[in-house]
Structure 1
Amino acid sequence: MDAEFEDAITEGTKAGDWLVLAGLRALSVAVDFAYGEGGESLSVILQTSLDGGRSGIDIAHFRFAREGCRQIATLTGLSGLAPHVPQRLAPGEILDGFLGDRIRFVRIATGDYKNSSIAVHGAAR
């Protein structure tokens, strides 16, 4: 699973398309941010859906600023959890235990980033 976002990252929110992964039990994700110039903060939020893509549940929040780096996370859908009210996760937070049959990435940028890119790589099991 690989996805690359735009080279000129403009301010605002952009949701990617849902990627259907039937039988998903675990997911390891690496988000690479190559910084060029500009911008103030950048979040990449991994979402899953339990209702066929009608709504998204945040399960990982990757946060970047003005330097390039790689962040990684592993999530499983095998843990039993108490009832949960879906909400925006804090930067660096994950919600393990919820994996639907699809995932997508949502990018939220504050300020315009130039000559910068985001690449997402993953392994589904």
Structure 2
Amino acid sequence: MVVPITAPLFMPGAAVIGLPKTRMQLILPSDFDLSDAPPPLDSRLRLVEIPQHVCAVQSVLKKDSSAIEKQVGSFMETLQHDNHTAEKGNWQVLHYRAPWFNPMFNSDEIAIGLRKYIHCRENRHTLWCTEYN
């Protein structure tokens, strides 16, 4: 059975800024469960179930590693200012382009895991906020 690769390709933050963690993640389509997913053809690959979690996401502004690292720091400060609790060191870059795609039109994103976040919505003249842990 062949499974199409879905976007995005996840790169842990350490790998992006040049530290020796060279892992990446490909996400299987939602119609697969870990028990019925086909086994990888390459022995270096393994299937792992990732627990559901919440991330804050922002578009990558510049593609070089030092600019990404600065953007992550700035984004974390913004999240903390807005009363979200970001998991320091738990960030990834999400790549949404095929290998043949022109890099000029690249739409990568930074995703930072959140331990606590506030969700607010407005209903007429009232602002409702819920805190999640």
> Which structure is larger by alpha-carbon Rg, 1 or 2?
2
TM bracket, shorter-chain basis: under 0.3
TM-score by length of 2: 0.23
| Higher relative contact order (Cα pairs below 8 Å, separated by 6+ residues) | 1
Q: More helix per residue: 1 or 2?
A: 2
Q: More strand per residue: 1 or 2?
A: 1
